[in-house]
Amino acid sequence: MMRNAVPGFWGALLGLLLPVAGFAQGASAATALPDFYDMRLADPFDRSSYFDGRKSMLNDVGSQGSANICWAFTAAAALESNVYKNWQRQGIAYSVDARGFHLSPWKMAWFSYARPVEEPGDLTGVMGKPLRKGSYAVPLASRVYGHGSWPLFAPEFLAGSGIGFRKAEASVSEDMKAPTTWGDDAGLRLRNIFTSTGTKLDQPAEIARMKSIMLEYGALAAGVNSLPLQQKGAVAYYRAKPLPVNHGVNIIGWDDSYDFAGSGLRVKPKHKGAWIIRNSWGKAWGDGGYAYLSYEDKTLRNYVAYDTSLDTAAYDWIDTYERSNCLVPPRQNWENSSGPRYRQMESGSGFAAGYRAKGAGWIQAVGFYAMADALEYTITIRKGSLDPKQGSLALEQKGRFGADNTPDWAGYRTVPLSSKVFLAPGEAYTVAVMLQNPKGKVRLVLSPQLVESRKLDSVHSYLRRGRHGSWQKTVRRNDGEQPVWYRNASVVQRVYVKKAEK
């Protein structure tokens, strides 16, 4: 379960773009959606099918024990299912037991907050509190494994570098131990994250949307409340009233004809139909770790799906001010353990950041949040200055999510550049992104700066309110004059750079 979870945090926080062939999405595709789908089976569309490790898209059910890392288990299962789905499309042979892809949720949780215990220097953990080396022989008692989060936090945090995506150890007991080294890189890189834009997930259009996303990308990582799931011996769940999100599960399929009449529930849903969910409480829970959750359940509030790649050579470094996600191991947690900050602004608003190139390279893509469906964007790259108002124009690229056979879903998106931009070593440049929402406002995302690494003169982060507004720095020397919502924060933007060949 997740500690101190707040529904508003999940709803606000949920929220790298590649073409998807044969794409169908949204409520318009509802009539074409199958009435049954189960990622465990050899034929996921056939109820009478069987388990086959060479065709299943799910590894074995795990157990988080008393650790508050359901979010890591949920994220790992969703990420793994996307890898398997991609392998199936590519005709790559695998088996979930021997030749499968296995992420370590324990290492994902640890590296989201701390460094290996044998690393030189201070080991700073959650809430900025120091962790004593050698004090985590029993990881379930540690501050790291006792600190909750949610399924987007670690994958999004480590999306570019892959630092947190480590291979699982051969045994669970070894995997649970506090890591003394970084371990083996699983070679996973996160490209896209797709998510809901509302919390009323019992509506037909949202149900169709979730099914369409699963068919394309694999299992969902979803936010629910753990209280109803604690009913012993139950395999079917439904709650008619909302509860705060404090737990993460996977949605791995659905059954439109599932009947709750014989479920034993005191209050039953009005209609048939259920999601097939997977928990992280071991195989003794539910039916081997799985259960059914009514489409009408009111505790299901959020979800994300991941689009991954095993291409570790797509880029060599990431320029960003956002946390430590730049191919450099994180040295400490966010200030006060706070998450991203959001602000609704009028359509046409945007954000920018200035950087100095680490070496000679080519800008390949730009990643940012698009927290509404079908947003229009304009990416502008200027060279020769750290200020977006200055410098020479190197590229201006416009587009709309949903055009050119690409998904329009909200989430974290990365846009490949139509023309790569060359950077000389040490060259100053800026990347600005303006967002247009034909249906309303846009939501801009900022990230609190690290306490120790925050140097006011070295953070070049800007916001612009509306298309006619002026660029304003988000981190200023006189910090007290800033509005609270972006004080001591930088824009969330990543610039993916490939080293230039000599």
Tokens 């070679």 locate to 187
User: Residues of the chain with pLDDT > 90: what percent?
Assistant: 51
CA dihedral (243, 247, 248, 252) positive or negative: negative
pLDDT per residue as tens digits for the range 298-339: 999 889 999 988 888 888 888 887 654 333 333 333 333 445
pLDDT score recorded for residue 210: 96
For the CA atoms of 367, 369, 375, 380, what is the dihedral angle to 10 degrees? Answer: -40
pLDDT band at residue 120 under the 50/70/90 scheme: low
pLDDT greater at residue 371 or residue 143:
371
Please calculate the CA angle 407-408-413 and round it to the nearest 5 degrees. Answer: 80
pLDDT score recorded for residue 322: 64
Residues contacting residue 65 through CB under 8 Å, at least 6 positions apart: 140
CA distance 464 to 473: 9
pLDDT per residue as tens digits for the range 253-304: 999 999 999 898 999 999 999 999 999 999 999 999 999 999 999 999 889 9
In residues, how long is the chain? 502
What's at 249, amino acid-wise? Answer: V
pLDDT score recorded for residue 47: 94
Cβ atoms of 430 and 368 closer than 8 Å: no
Cβ atoms of 54 and 87 closer than 8 Å: no
Parse the chain into domains and list their residue ranges.
Answer: 7-16+24-306, 315-499
pLDDT score recorded for residue 42: 95
Cβ atoms of 388 and 352 closer than 8 Å: yes
Residue 21 has pLDDT above 60, yes or no: no
3-state SS record for 478-499: CHHHCCHHHCCEEECEEEEEEE
What is 7-16+24-306's CATH topology?
Cathepsin B; Chain A (3.90.70)
Residue 221 backbone dihedrals phi, psi, to 5 degrees: -100, 115
Query: pTM of the prediction?
Result: 0.85
**Residue 263 to residues 108, 272, 446, 484, Cα–Cα distance (Å):** 36, 12, 45, 49
SS3 content of the chain, % helix, strand, coil (to 5): 15, 30, 55
For the segment 417-430, the average pLDDT, to the nearest whole number, is 97
Tell me, what DSSP letter sits at residue 57? S
Beta partners for 290? 278, 287
CA distance 312 to 186: 10
Residue 228 backbone dihedrals phi, psi, to 5 degrees: -65, -25
pLDDT score recorded for residue 43: 96
Q: What is the CATH number of domain 315-499?
A: 2.60.120
Residues contacting residue 376 through CB under 8 Å, at least 6 positions apart: 398, 399, 400, 401, 435, 436, 437, 438
For the chain, the average pLDDT equals 80
- Equal CATH topology for 7-16+24-306 and 315-499: no
Residue 408 has pLDDT above 60, yes or no: yes
pLDDT score recorded for residue 98: 72
Residue 121 has pLDDT above 60, yes or no: no
Dmax over CA atoms of the chain, in Å, equals 70
**Residue 119 to residues 71, 127, 138, 460, 462, Cα–Cα distance (Å):** 25, 19, 19, 30, 34
pLDDT per residue as tens digits for the range 138-195: 333 345 565 565 555 455 555 545 556 888 887 888 888 777 777 888 888 888 889 8
Residues contacting residue 75 through CB under 8 Å, at least 6 positions apart: 105, 108, 151, 152, 154, 155, 221, 248, 306
What's at 320, amino acid-wise? Answer: T
Beta partners for 394? none
For the CA atoms of 65, 66, 71, 74, what is the dihedral angle to 10 degrees? Answer: 20
For the segment 70-74, the average pLDDT, to the nearest whole number, is 90
Residue 363's H or E segment, with its range, is strand 361-370
pLDDT greater at residue 478 or residue 60:
60
CA distance 426 to 377: 28
Side-by-side strand order, sheet with 442-448: 341-345, 442-448, 489-491
**Residue 102 to residues 75, 170, 268, 481, 489, Cα–Cα distance (Å):** 12, 10, 37, 48, 35
Residues contacting residue 135 through CB under 8 Å, at least 6 positions apart: 142
For the segment 71-87, the average pLDDT, to the nearest whole number, is 94
CA distance 492 to 232: 43
3-state SS record for 301-358: CEEEEEEEECCCCCCCEEECCCCCCCCCCCCCCCHHHCCCEEEEECCCCEEEEEEECC
